[in-house]
């Protein structure tokens, strides 16, 4: 049985998705979603534990041997990303019930959970597969359902944001499939491990270099690397709160994983960094993203949009870590993948609570909320400090490895820039804190703390921020092992 | 309790104190009693750690290990014990003083005040007993955060603005310079443990050391080395007990203490002398000493003048560290103690004058000494100690600092020390002189003005007498400091 866990973790949410539609009942659909997410989490955890203990697992779909059949392959890298996606899904799903009832039309709620589970399936599928075309298939599954989820937002602008995301996302996906096609033309294979063997023979052809270019731009679009991030702020701002929390914590992370998988495993670090000089592309883009997007975030008045811009900056940190092309840099990137999911998940869930009670996430509307919703705002403070990178939170651990990586390369101006941008994060987090704690509450007297159904999942993430900030041994060990796997080349 | 447990207890006791203060918030008398008892128990605990350390023990305990190889670790060594002794003893006195002050001044939110006060002391203990740079950094930041509600206590627009400067300067220096220096140190040495003789000797290139040391000196913003001193005058909007204990003793001393500790246990004084890395920073400290004194002259507000005097005096200790020889380190360490007792006396007096006579400006103090003779005499003794004149304790630390400057061959710095003593004599002595020898401006002078409330007065007398006792009895601090320089 346990050898089928790898496929089951994708199948369970996939099959639960139509159940949500057939049930036609909001509660039942929610029940299916939570159950499916938790089952996946259990399976992912088992797989992760096995990979950490005994090394990579492979699974042949329908027993067709690779490279012809589709192979699922889990090593330290994707086990780690699977864990991130499954954990966030399992925290957001229970949170969604109350939040979605408030923010989504009642008749569409079963559809919401169906789309949610499809998105979850897609993200897990991209991560678990060892076949490049399968990556594309799951990418479309997750993207299409994500467009639908975003379009369910209350604000009419949700529709235009979803449409814009659809256009940009489809361009990205098309670029990726062109890249995959060119690789197939040159090698006749779609299996990642096989490609890794075959590609070095055709490294110097223009076709492969072009394929590399198409893949790079497609993935950059998907992970919202500056300046291809334009779809992200509106999509995050107008989507329902639960969707924002889920997508912000997982979708871009999986896109970063795709980048790592394509450029480190399939093409290999030597080709990426010695031939294509990927680091020379990533480094400036990451630095510009970090600086400009942090600056833009400071001037936002909609807190969800503020956090969205901060996300683009934080993705910059991950890309920065990758651009160091060293084990420490990759460790930093992979740690931040997990840590940023924890902090942004928690922060967007805070915004969900605020939305639930006062119906707005405009910064002025949050005046005095520190007294009215003490638990929600305390969560915002802790998760916000984690975003800044204060010691004893996970944000600090990521920053530590990132700066260590920069100093190892001798790039001390980069290290200083990372520290200065942390201060910029402090400024935008502090703006919200000041409004919430130092201003008087203007709303009706009866505004209360958010319901427990929202508070418990949110605080679970907030405490995880602190827990893995005080004892980061597990996370650092996993990220380090994953980084070594990536630098080692083919799996 | 075993010595490691005692070290841990000195963190937990004030932390527990916050719980008691919160529980007893309905009954102010019981609440203040809880603060006093906590302070007393803490001092007793630190005394036992002191005895263990004097017996040659170095009790250590690991609390957690956030990053593999970099634990959160507490370890008691002589310098930390010296700092912990002073902070915990003066906490007792300050609590006593605060009882009179906060009630006499009708401050609001007193429970919040005592809670965060106790919490700040817990983080001070963490700074004092930090076993490595990482632990030191964490408690340093916790201290900044926990004192923020104390600085903004009044809740006014001015207090909020001051709070922003306070956190802004302390956070930006510590994150941009100090954290960078810490990670850099780790990248060079592969460890962050405080080790006698330092961890950088033989590992760091000679060209790097002056820069790294500079990052530490400026990065420890709490030491208020110019140009990063602005937060200290800003913090003076806080209630006077906060200014007294935190911004004359605990917080600022946490800064200079960190610099001393980093100098001795990360760089190692022999290594620093050999590389000559600290010479440029000696002159930065010297400039702060002189400029701080000069700015103090221009301030008519009593607390602002004391604040700039603190900026100037803190750099004595930074200077002692940068001299990087035995006398300099001993002088710096002893000045932590001597300046603490002297400056806290001055702040206590300033607070008493504010509460009783409602005077905040120096020009308003004429003749007030005749109605508040004890307060003004205590101020006089505190002044002697700050200036470094016998029969007050401050003379010893200045003596050793002067010796250190001579041993380092920096005659110019001796002149700086002399000049600064003269300056501080002038700007501080003005206050008791005005109080005792000038005729009051207004005819019906100071109706109904009397001495400070009794608990506050006891505190004032206690610290003033301590200044005198430390002149004849400085041995405990001297012995601790000799242990630091002769491992």
Tell me: do B236 and B288 sit in the same domain.
no
Q: What is the pLDDT of residues B265-305, one digit of tens each?
A: 888 888 888 888 888 888 898 999 999 989 988 888 888 88
Tell me: do B180 and B304 sit in the same domain.
no
Compute the distance between CA of residue A85 and CA of residue A481 in angstroms, rounded to an integer: 19
Q: Are B252 and B314 in contact (CB under 8 A)?
A: yes
CB contact under 8 A, B64 and A415: no
Q: What is the pLDDT of residues B40-56, one digit of tens each?
A: 888 989 888 888 888 88
Identify any residues that bridge with A59 across adjacent strands, giving them in sequence order: A72
Compute the distance between CA of residue B186 and CA of residue A287 in angstroms, rounded to an integer: 24
Q: What is the mean pLDDT of residues A91-112?
A: 88
Chain A residues touching B137 at Cβ < 8 A = 391
Q: What is the pLDDT of residues A351-406, one digit of tens each?
A: 999 888 888 888 888 888 888 888 889 999 999 999 998 888 899 999 999 999 99
Kindly tell me if the per-residue pLDDT of A10 is higher than 50: yes
Stretch 150-189 of chain B: residues touching chain A, C-beta under 8 Å: 160, 171-172, 175-176, 179-180, 183-184, 186-187
Instruction: Identify the pLDDT of residue B250.
Output: 82
* Bigger pLDDT: B86 vs A444: B86
Q: Give the gap in angstroms from C-alpha B139 to the nearest C-alpha of chain A.
A: 9
Q: How many domains does one find in chain B?
A: 2
Q: List residues in chain A touching B: CB distance below 8 A.
A: 389-392, 396-397, 400, 403-404, 407-408, 412, 415-416, 419-420, 422-423, 426, 434, 438, 469-473, 476-477
Tell me: do B234 and B285 sit in the same domain.
no
Q: Please, which pLDDT band fits residue B449 given cuts at 50, 70 and 90?
A: low
Compute the distance between CA of residue A82 and CA of residue A260 in angstroms, rounded to an integer: 14
Q: Give the gap in angstroms from C-alpha A444 to the nearest C-alpha of chain B.
A: 24
Say how many Å lie between the first and final Cα of chain B, rounded: 26
Compute the distance between CA of residue A357 and CA of residue A103 in angstroms, rounded to an integer: 11
Instruction: Identify the pLDDT of residue A167.
Output: 93
Kindly tell me if the per-residue pLDDT of A484 is higher than 70: yes
pTM for the model stands at 0.86
Q: Are A76 and A51 in contact (CB under 8 A)?
A: yes
B66 interfaces chain A, CB cutoff of 8 Å? yes
Compute the distance between CA of residue A125 and CA of residue A136 in angstroms, rounded to an integer: 10
Identify any residues that bridge with A191 across adjacent strands, giving them in sequence order: A131
Q: Please, which pLDDT band fits residue A293 given cuts at 50, 70 and 90?
A: very high
Tally the C-alpha atoms within 13 A of residue A283's C-alpha that lie toward its C-beta.
17
Taking the domains of chain A in order of start, what are their residue ranges? 1-276, 278-491
Kindly tell me if the per-residue pLDDT of A491 is higher than 50: no
Mean per-residue pLDDT of chain A? 89
Say how many Å lie between the first and final Cα of chain A, rounded: 25
Instruction: Identify the pLDDT of residue A317.
Output: 93
DSSP string, B53-113: HHTT---EEEEEEEETTEEEEEE--HHHHHHHHHHHHHHHHHHHHHHHHHHHTT-S-HHHH
Instruction: Identify the pLDDT of residue A445.
Output: 64
Q: What is the mean pLDDT of residues B436-445?
A: 68
Instruction: Identify the pLDDT of residue A144.
Output: 93
Where a domain ends, among B218, B236, B265?
A: B265
- Of A7-11, A172-176, B46-50, B444-448, give the lowest mean pLDDT range: B444-448
Q: Give the gap in angstroms from C-alpha A328 to the nearest C-alpha of chain B.
A: 11
Tell me: do B246 and B319 sit in the same domain.
no
Kindly tell me if the per-residue pLDDT of B328 is higher than 70: yes
Range of the domain at B51: 1-265
Tell me: do B53 and B93 sit in the same domain.
yes
Tell me: do B289 and B332 sit in the same domain.
yes
CB contact under 8 A, B179 and A403: yes
Tell me: do B31 and B173 sit in the same domain.
yes
Q: Are A173 and A214 in contact (CB under 8 A)?
A: no
Compute the distance between CA of residue B358 and CA of residue A461 in angstroms, rounded to an integer: 50
Q: What is the pLDDT of residues A21-57, one digit of tens each?
A: 888 888 888 999 999 999 999 999 999 999 888 888 9
Q: What 3-state DSSP class applies to B229?
A: coil
Tell me: do B155 and B44 sit in the same domain.
yes
Q: What 3-state DSSP class applies to A340?
A: helix
Instruction: Give ∠ CA A328-A331-A332 in degrees, rounded to 5.
Output: 90
- Please tell me which of the candidates A403, A416, A423 has its beta carbon nearest to residue B171: A423
Instruction: Identify the pLDDT of residue A288.
Output: 93
- Please tell me which of the candidates A389, A415, A470 has its beta carbon nearest to residue B66: A470
Tell me: do B407 and B287 sit in the same domain.
yes
Instruction: Identify the pLDDT of residue A217.
Output: 93
**In a domain? residue B271:** no
Tell me: do B38 and B77 sit in the same domain.
yes
**In a domain? residue B33:** yes
Q: Give the gap in angstroms from C-alpha A407 to the nearest C-alpha of chain B.
A: 7
Q: What is the pLDDT of residues A181-190, one digit of tens each?
A: 999 999 989 9
**In a domain? residue B272:** no
Compute the distance between CA of residue B427 and CA of residue B309 in angstroms, rounded to an integer: 9
Instruction: Identify the pLDDT of residue A489.
Output: 46
CB contact under 8 A, A473 and B65: yes
Best mutation site among A403, A413, A430 for testing chain B: the one with the most B CBs within 10 Å? A403
Kindly tell me if the per-residue pLDDT of B402 is higher than 80: yes
Q: Does an H or E element contain B73, and which? A: strand B70-75
Chain B residues touching A477 at Cβ < 8 A = 68
Compute the distance between CA of residue A120 and CA of residue A20 in angstroms, rounded to an integer: 14
Q: Please, which pLDDT band fits residue B445 given cuts at 50, 70 and 90?
A: low
**In a domain? residue B409:** yes
Chain B residues touching A438 at Cβ < 8 A = 160
Neighbours of B25 (CB within 10 A): 15
Q: Are A138 and A250 in contact (CB under 8 A)?
A: no
Maximum average pLDDT range among B103-112, B133-142, B359-368 = B133-142
CA nearest A480 in B: which residue?
A: B68
**In a domain? residue B270:** no
Q: What is the CA radius of gyration of chain A?
A: 21
Q: Does an H or E element contain B60, and which? A: strand B60-67
Q: What is the mean pLDDT of residues B97-112?
A: 75
Compute the distance between CA of residue A173 and CA of residue A195 in angstroms, rounded to an integer: 20
Where a domain ends, among B205, B231, B265?
A: B265
Compute the distance between CA of residue B154 and CA of residue B163 in angstroms, rounded to an integer: 11
CB contact under 8 A, B175 and A470: no
* Bigger pLDDT: A89 vs B168: A89
Q: What 3-state DSSP class applies to B361?
A: strand
Where a domain ends, among B265, B298, B330?
A: B265
Q: What 3-state DSSP class applies to B335?
A: helix
Instruction: Identify the pLDDT of residue A490.
Output: 38
Tell me: do B371 and B343 sit in the same domain.
yes
Q: Are B121 and B91 in contact (CB under 8 A)?
A: yes
Nearest to A219 by CA among A185, A189, A260, A249: A260
Tally the C-alpha atoms within 13 A of residue B132's C-alpha that lie toward its C-beta.
21
- What count of CB pairs under 8 Å joins A to B? 60
CB contact under 8 A, A471 and B68: no
Q: Give the gap in angstroms from C-alpha A476 to the nearest C-alpha of chain B.
A: 7
Q: Are B260 and B208 in contact (CB under 8 A)?
A: no
Tell me: do B255 and B136 sit in the same domain.
yes
**In a domain? residue B441:** yes
Best mutation site among A381, A400, A433 for testing chain B: the one with the most B CBs within 10 Å? A400
Neighbours of A49 (CB within 10 A): 12
């Amino acid at each position: 049985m346990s050898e089928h866990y790898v496929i089951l973790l994708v199948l369970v949410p996939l099959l639960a998705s139509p159940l949500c539609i057939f049930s036609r009942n909001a509660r039942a659909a929610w029940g299916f979603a939570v159950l499916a997410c938790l089952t996946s989490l259990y399976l992912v955890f088992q797989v992760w534990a096995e990979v950490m203990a005994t090394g990579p697992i492979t699974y042949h779909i329908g027993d067709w041997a690779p490279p012809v059949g589709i192979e699922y392959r889990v090593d330290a890298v994707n086990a780690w990303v699977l864990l991130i996606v499954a954990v966030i899904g399992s925290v957001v799903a229970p949170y969604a019930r109350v939040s979605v009832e408030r923010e989504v039309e009642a008749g569409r709620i079963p559809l919401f959970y169906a789309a949610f589970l499809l998105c979850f399936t897609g993200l897990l599928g991209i991560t678990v597969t060892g076949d490049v075309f399968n990556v594309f298939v799951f990418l479309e599954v997750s993207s299409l359902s994500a467009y639908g989820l975003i379009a369910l937002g209350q604000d009419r602008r949700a529709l235009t944001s979803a449409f814009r995301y659809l256009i940009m996302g489809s361009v990205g996906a098309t670029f990726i499939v062109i890249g995959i096609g060119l690789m197939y033309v040159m090698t006749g294979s779609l299996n990642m491990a096989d490609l890794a063997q075959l590609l070095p023979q055709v490294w110097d052809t223009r076709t492969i270099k072009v394929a590399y270019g198409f893949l790079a731009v497609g993935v950059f679009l998907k992970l919202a690397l500056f300046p291809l991030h334009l779809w992200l702020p509106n999509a995050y701002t107008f989507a329902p709160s639960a969707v924002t929390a889920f997508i912000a914590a997982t979708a871009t992370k999986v896109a970063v994983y795709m980048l790592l998988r394509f450029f480190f495993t399939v093409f290999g670090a030597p080709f990426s960094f010695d031939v294509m000089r990927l680091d020379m592309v990533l480094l400036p883009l990451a630095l510009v993203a970090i600086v400009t997007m942090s600056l833009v975030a400071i001037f936002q008045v909609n807190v969800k949009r503020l956090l969205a811009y901060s996300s683009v900056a934080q993705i910059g940190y991950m890309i920065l870590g990758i651009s160091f092309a060293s084990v420490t840099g990759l460790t930093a990137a992979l740690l931040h993948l997990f840590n940023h999911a924890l902090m942004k998940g928690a922060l967007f869930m805070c915004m969900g609570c605020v939305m639930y009670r006062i119906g707005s996430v405009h910064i002025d509307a949050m005046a005095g909320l520190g007294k009215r919703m003490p638990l929600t705002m305390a969560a915002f403070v802790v998760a916000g400090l984690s975003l800044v990178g204060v010691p004893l939170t996970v944000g600090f651990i990521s920053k530590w490895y990132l700066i260590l990586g920069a100093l190892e390369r001798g790039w001390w101006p980069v290290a200083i820039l990372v520290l200065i941008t942390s201060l910029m994060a402090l400024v935008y987090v502090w703006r919200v804190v000041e409004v919430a704690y130092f201003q008087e509450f203007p709303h009706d007297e009866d505004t209360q703390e958010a319901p427990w159904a929202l508070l418990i999942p949110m605080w679970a993430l907030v405490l995880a921020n602190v827990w893995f900030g005080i004892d980061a041994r597990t996370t650092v060990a996993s990220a380090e092992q994953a980084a070594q796997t990536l630098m080692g080349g083919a799996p | 309790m075993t010595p490691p447990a005692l070290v841990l207890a000195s963190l937990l006791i004030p932390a527990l104190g916050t719980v008691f203060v919160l529980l007893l918030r309905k009954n102010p008398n019981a609440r203040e009693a809880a603060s006093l008892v906590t302070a007393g128990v803490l001092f007793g605990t630190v005394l036992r750690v002191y005895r263990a350390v004097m017996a040659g023990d170095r009790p250590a305990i690991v609390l957690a290990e956030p990053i593999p190889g970099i634990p959160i670790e507490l370890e008691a060594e002589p310098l930390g014990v010296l700092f912990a002794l002073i902070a915990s003893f003066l906490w007792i006195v300050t609590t006593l003083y605060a009882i009179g002050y906060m009630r006499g001044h009708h401050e609001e939110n007193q429970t919040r005040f005592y809670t965060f006060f106790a919490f700040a002391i817990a983080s001070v203990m963490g700074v004092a007993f930090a076993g490595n740079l990482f632990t030191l950094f964490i408690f340093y930041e916790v201290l900044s955060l926990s004192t923020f509600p104390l600085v903004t206590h009044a809740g006014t627009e001015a207090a909020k603005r001051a709070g922003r400067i306070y956190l802004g300067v302390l956070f930006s220096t510590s994150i941009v310079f100090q954290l960078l220096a810490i990670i850099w140190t780790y990248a060079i040495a592969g460890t962050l443990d405080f080790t006698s003789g330092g961890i950088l000797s033989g590992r760091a290139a000679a060209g790097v050391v002056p820069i790294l040391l500079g990052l530490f000196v400026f990065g420890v913003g709490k030491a208020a080395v110019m140009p990063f001193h602005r937060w200290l005058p800003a913090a003076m909007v806080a209630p006077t007990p906060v200014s007294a204990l935190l911004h004359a003793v605990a917080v600022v001393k946490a800064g200079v203490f960190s610099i001393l500790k980093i100098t001795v246990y990360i760089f190692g004084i022999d290594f620093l002398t050999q590389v000559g890395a600290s010479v440029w920073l000696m002159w930065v400290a010297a400039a702060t000493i002189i400029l701080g004194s000069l700015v103090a002259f221009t301030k008519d507000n009593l607390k602002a003048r004391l604040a700039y005097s603190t900026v100037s005096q803190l750099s004595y200790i930074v200077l002692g560290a940068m001299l990087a020889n035995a006398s300099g380190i001993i002088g710096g360490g002893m000045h932590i103690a001597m300046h603490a007792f002297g400056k806290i006396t001055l702040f206590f007096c300033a607070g008493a004058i504010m509460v009783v006579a409602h005077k905040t400006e120096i020009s308003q103090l004429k003749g007030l000494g005749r109605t508040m003779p004890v307060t003004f005499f205590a101020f006089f003794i505190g002044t002697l100690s700050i200036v470094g004149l016998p029969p007050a304790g401050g003379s010893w630390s200045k003596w050793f600092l002067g010796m250190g400057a001579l041993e380092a061959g920096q005659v110019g710095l001796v002149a700086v020390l002399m000049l600064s003593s003269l300056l501080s004599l002038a700007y501080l002595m003005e206050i008791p002189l005005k109080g005792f020898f000038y005729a009051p401006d207004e005819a019906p002078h100071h109706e109904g003005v009397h001495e400070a409330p009794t608990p506050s007065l006891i505190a004032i007398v206690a610290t003033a007498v301590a200044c005198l006792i430390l002149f004849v009895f400085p041995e405990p601090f001297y012995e601790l400091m000799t242990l630091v320089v002769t491992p």
